[in-house]
Structure 1
């Protein structure tokens, strides 16, 4: 084992520990206990106080001060409106120790209930991963498009779409084969993300693909690709997320036996 391999493994362990700490956060992805799609009728959901309904691109929450519901630290006493942004993290509504995340996906509004006492969080013991191997660290080349493009992808929810921003392609060679993947981001100089499937998808890794965050490319377009840091999407941990699927054609042609495996 070379000194470089030891350093790679040590850095990965520190990174992986931080990743698992993030998952353990009280209102992180492991805390989800429900996903409720709103319509125009005021309704009570699960054991949530008050009523909730969709209204012209936003959501209306009706409760009394005694219900203990608050938005941005302000108690709801009557009807309060929140306006989440499509495809972005939602507006958090406090209900005791829980947080109800009001999300918008296309024209649809939904509630995601985040409870620190969720069984998925309480029984979490870590994310399984492949052994770290330096052969999964390669240099790629980012080729930006003239302008970012809004693309359409499917999600794990039937009939629901997602519209990320794609900024170009990343080319690299792994397993002796050249790969080309659409890169997601917000602008050509920002952090790049690769959302892809490979030969392990649906067997040892999550079938909806995994994500690798690359950081920004260098001035000459080169980018470091460390597939050991490929991570699962939230939907691999919970049934209450609305994860996108990879862009069409984003398939690595060799099994990527690196990064996170399917959670157990």
Structure 2
């Protein structure tokens, strides 16, 4: 049973940068459900897209796997032989908890977990790659290169799924949608103190792009098709499809 997220419920004299440590691991499922609108829908569709796009004898990557929610969504939908899932996260506590979650679900599809930075992962023979609210924590200067490297390691006809918090160029729209997201958090029981302290903790860690920047990055990397398929407030999920070899 996961604990309720009360990390920021009491005043903190000095709010440090947010980290995916053991304290966060213990409350992460509650934290993300109460903070990210549409999260369950995104996971469900990751499973659907896996069923549609995975290829026999290929690799599926969950980059920034945290506790393994997307990994499990992919694993449940692998139907073809010779597939392997690789989950990567640079938080050892996340990897350890992910391993225990995976052990609770039987499957013929092997999963390998790696505790390392995404930039150090060599992508190869990939048919499905997922970054589910991960890229936003990567240094903005390294994002183009990371997506380009992922593209190079993907098979023709494969799919990249990237979910992200974004910001908007129109300041009035940004203010409106930000207010809607704050109301979402309040409706899920977060106090003004929790909202304020969490914002302080994450403002130098989670650095957002615009939707247009994401689409342009996919196209620059070489993806034949790229589009946001989901949006709720300032949370989007994109798909980018690599063209067939004869495109």
Return the TM-score normalized by structure 2: 0.22
Q: Which has the higher strand share?
A: 1
Larger radius of gyration: 1
Q: Which has the higher helix share?
A: 2
Which structure ranks higher in relative contact order (CA pairs < 8 Å, sequence separation ≥ 6)?
A: 2
Return the TM-score normalized by structure 1: 0.21
